[in-house]
A and B are shown apart, each in its own frame.
Chain A
Amino acid sequence: MTKLSLLKIACAALLVGAAPLSAIAQEPLRIEITEGVIEPLPFALPTLVAENPAAQEWAERVTQVIADDLVGTGLFRRIPNDAFVAQITEFTPSITYANWKAINAQALITGAISVDGDQLNVKFRLFDVFSEAPLGEGLQFGGTTQSWRRMAHKVADAVYSRITGETGYFDSRVVFVSEAGPKNQREKRLAVMDYDGANVQYLTDAASIVLAPRFSPTGDRILYTSYETGFPQIYQLDVGNVSRVSLPVPAESMTFAPRYAPDGQTVIFSAAMGGNTDIFRLRPGGGPEKLTNAPSIETAPSYSPDGSQIVFESDRSGTPQLYIMDANGGEPRRISFGQGRYGTPVWSPRGDLIAFTKQNEGRFHIGVMRTDGSEERLLTASFLDEGPTWAPNGRVLMFTRESAGAEGQPALYSVDISGRNLRKVPTPQSASDPAWSPLLP
């Protein structure tokens, strides 16, 4: 007892002696915050300043597209212009931050636009209001008046990137299957559009059924499946001149579910021969190489961003599940173990997640999971959700949602990987099978 008490006293004495020393330095108040809030960041976007009379009509349109892009992410909220305390009448770097703090704008975007013939010039600056400092340097984009939407998307991408620290996805396109007519006699055509549904262009006619289009990593080619010959065959379409060629796939086989490798040259696909479906690889100058060899159905392959692995769907365990194998084939490992059926896996451009379609208890879901199968999260639920595709920055998923009943029609929807911000993508007709392009140059 006496020893312990002595030790206690000694320890206490040492600490008491040390206390004043630390006190002299006056340690800072330390606080840890583990819970924040999830809300859109309010920003102010005064209409771009028209630097000449001809630019006036473009100023409103470009401004609106920039605002729509940002608000459409669910991460930003635009403060109405009529709430402004001050107006921006010229493109100047000097800002009276108090005016924007007053309306609680955390970011301020100012810009100007000028037109010279059919040449459009757009420039902008971004300010962090509460830090009272610009966020990055000012940027300027030039182009024809026909590409005004792209310039607006470019501005929005830059703003998005500077605030979130991630690349944007607004200046991108989506290829999809445009559908018309009743379910039992539906016409399907390939079409491309801006990511927000604008500028729709048709690539094929309705003479034959087309399925599952996929953009190349450079966005200049599209792989798709067509029933033109009566059974599914893979074709490659050049977006520039809309010319197409068939791939040298195994004869007398049904080929489908094609997808490019990250190198943009190699193609992987599924082929059904002799009643069995396996995954094949087609490299430039070579013939089809069989990557799987099982009596079960292996399909829907998708490369990892680095091209070293392939995730695919297989029913070798009795029900469709997700598996990952080396890019050269080999023994796959199963990564999905939840209840229900898994299919159409797609590797995220970030490389950290795999999106998939899941069918369970009579409902379909779009979900994501880690590449090891952990942390599965279902983002949507409906009568029929399927075929997810990743935005170029790996932040948003677009997929097909079809309503129930004989009159049910498919449509395109997008959802943030957090499960928030579910939005319907406007298309002129029913649409399915979306595939996102890379960010345009």
Chain B
Amino acid sequence: MGRGMNPGTVISGLGHLLLIAFVLFGGLFTRASMPPPQVAQVTILSETEFAALTRPVEGEQTPPMTDPVAPVPPVEMPDTPEPPAEQAPPVEQAPPPRPEAEAEPPQDVPTPPDPLPAETELPETPEPMANPDTAEDLPVAPVAIPRPADRVSSEPTPPAPPEAETAPDIVETTAPEPDAAAPEAVADTPAAPEETTTEIVTEAEEPARAEDGPRAPVVSQRPRPKPAPPVRQAAVQPETPEAPVTPAQTTEAASENVRDAVQDALAGLEEAAPTIGPAAGPPLSAGEKDAMRVAVQRCWVVDVGSEAAGVTVTVGFEMTPDGRVVGSSLRELDNDGAGAAAKTAYEAARRAILRCQDDGYDLPVDKYEHWRNVEIVFNPGNMRLR
């Protein structure tokens, strides 16, 4: 029995120890879960300070700034809960100054003036910047400032979201543009014979054209996807500024950024995939593809008044290393028309391919594997009569 008791006490002792350890671990877990959100909020505050304090806001909004300064001191460490309440009013005061500075785009930051009071301490803000990546380290500091961050963050967030939303929208538009982006510039240059024209000016339109001349062009330029190039930049830019500007949304914004990044990576891989051919050399550049497009385009005669002008046809063919079309390989891959119109559309496309090859299309020989097989979509949609 005595031996039995001893083990029991031992067991109970171990049990207590385990419980104590459990409690300790539990506390750790809770702490672990808590810090992340705090960290995010803290970062928001510091950055807003940057935006507001560093440049435009100070000079113009100095008056409001001074008022908040008073609340700032308490905010520093102990009075964290109270300062937010006091900061709220300054935030309301901030709006009035906005109208003055409305002309300037940075005004979006005006909301930050709220954080400014707490951030009057410029030295502290720079530190987080120095350790931007060390989010884990920041949590510690946040503990003191987090509270103000919460309220402040809720207000500034509105401006931030628009940025995140705009980015994706633009990205979508970019998708179709990449291919035609470069062509645009070239599209106008490829003027063919003198009698050639890409627009129809009826007699009825001539007088108007003499005045402004925009009517006909407006119709023909309808398809131009110019936004392409800027879009890409926009898509790229948002990422860099977002990190510093909207730390409050680090979790959401970051996740969106990651998704975008993944999509970009996927898109890039998809584009790159075909070029990774065996012994294919580097892929064709946009300029090289464009040159080929323009070369065929200048020989593609479209009878805009015909029913064939309503048919999009895809023609496939093989080419020899010297850039010549293998005539027997020409074939119609697809069309969205029917009957004689589809047949006529294909014949016009075939003539364009054959007629403008001259002594061979000018394509880089070292990339032959990339253009050995070609598919050209002849889409007269932009030229149809409207």
Chain A contact residues, CB within 8 Å of chain B: 1, 4-5, 7-8, 11-12, 15-16, 18-20, 22-24, 26-41, 75, 77, 104, 106, 128, 130-132, 135, 163-166, 350, 365, 367, 375, 377-382, 395, 415-420, 422
Contact = CB atoms under 8 A, between A and B. Distances in A.
Given A36-B302, A37-B297, A131-B350, 19 more contacts: A1-B258, A4-B259, A8-B265, A15-B265, A20-B276, A24-B277, A24-B278, A27-B274, A28-B375, A30-B375, A30-B376, A32-B376, A34-B379, A35-B187, A37-B301, A166-B306, A419-B202, A419-B203, A419-B204
Interface in B268-295: 269-270, 272-278, 280, 284, 289, 292-293
B374 A29 contact: yes
A19 B262 CA distance: 16
A15 B378 contact: no
Contacts of B179: 32
Interface in B107-126: none
A19 B385 contact: no
B16 interface: no
23 contacts: A16-B269, A19-B269, A22-B274, A23-B280, A27-B273, A29-B373, A30-B375, A33-B300, A36-B378, A37-B196, A38-B197, A38-B302, A130-B354, A130-B355, A132-B327, A163-B344, A164-B308, A165-B308, A165-B343, A165-B345, A166-B344, A378-B202, A381-B203
Interface stretch (B66-74, B83-91, B364-372): B364-372
Interface string B189-221: 000110111111111111100000000000000
Contacts of B81: none
Given A37-B301, A38-B301, A380 B374 contact: no
B195 A39 contact: yes
Interface residues of B, number: 85
B379 A33 contact: yes
B374 A31 contact: yes
B340 interface: yes
Contacts of B289: 29, 31
Nearest to B377: A32
B277 A37 contact: no
B303 interface: yes
Nearest to A376: B386
B302 A417 contact: no
Contact of B382 (A34, A39, A132, A419): A34
B197 A417 contact: no
B198 A37 contact: yes
Given A12-B266, A380-B202, A418-B304, A35 B383 contact: yes
B223 A164 contact: no
Contacts of A131: 327, 347, 350-351, 354
Contacts of B371: 29
B327 A33 contact: no
B144 interface: no
Contact of A39 (B193, B269, B277, B379): B193
Given A11-B262, A31-B374, A106-B355, A19 B272 contact: yes
6 cross-chain pairs, A with B, having the tightest CB-CB distances, nearest first: A419-B202, A165-B344, A378-B204, A28-B373, A36-B300, A36-B302
Contacts of B195: 39-40, 77
Given A26-B277, A418-B304, A8 B204 contact: no
Interface of B: 179-180, 187, 192-193, 195-207, 223, 254-255, 258-259, 261-262, 265-266, 269-270, 272-278, 280, 284, 289, 292-293, 296-308, 316, 327, 339-341, 343-345, 347, 350-352, 354-355, 369-383, 385-386
A401 to B, nearest CB: 10
A18 B273 contact: yes
Nearest to A132: B327
B259 A33 contact: no
Contact of B373 (A26, A77, A378): A26
Nearest to B340: A165
Given A1-B254, A29-B375, A34-B379, A164 B303 contact: yes
A23 to B, nearest CB: 4
A8 B280 contact: no
B269 A8 contact: no
A34 B179 CA distance: 12
B377 A33 contact: yes
